[in-house]
Amino acid sequence: MVRKIVLLFLVVGMFGMIGLLAWKYQKKSENIAQIKEQIQIAPNIRLKSFDEETFSISDFASGSPLLIIYFNSTCEICKIELNALNERFTEFG
């Protein structure tokens, strides 16, 4: 009798764990889908170039990937990141 009760608890526990894992997997996939959707939409921000000419992001991001880099010339981490991007510039096409 005790073995049946222990076996029942093990089976219920295993089904519970499988259900929990399935639920977590579904939540994670929903989160990833939401992030992918948000990444696809770039806000139409108006910016100024170095020569004070105004342009919008939609002028450049018409159906193609766009990488915007904002940096501070006195920031050491920004300088390191820009050097790393410069070394791999050809990979971005």
Q: What is the pLDDT of residues 61-79, one digit of tens each?
A: 666 676 777 777 788 888 8
Q: Do 59 and 16 have their domain in common?
A: no
Partners of residue 47 on adjacent β-strands:
55
**What share of residues in the chain are helix, strand, coil (percent, to 5)?**
60, 5, 30
User: Would residue 14 be called left, alpha or beta, if left means φ above 0 and alpha means ψ between -120 and 50 degrees?
Assistant: alpha
For the cut 90, the answer to whether the pLDDT of residue 37 exceeds it is: no
Question: How many structural domains comprise the chain?
Answer: 2
pLDDT of residue 22: 95
Nearest-angstrom CA–CA distance, 9 and 38: 43
**Residue 52: band (very low, low, confident or very high) from pLDDT cuts 50, 70, 90:** confident
pLDDT top residue among 16 and 70? 16
The predicted model scores a pTM of: 0.42
Residues 51 and 91 in one domain: yes
Alpha helices in the chain (DSSP H): 2-40, 76-87, 89-92
Could you tell me if 26 and 53 lie in one domain? no
CB-CB contact of 45 with 56 (8 Å) = yes
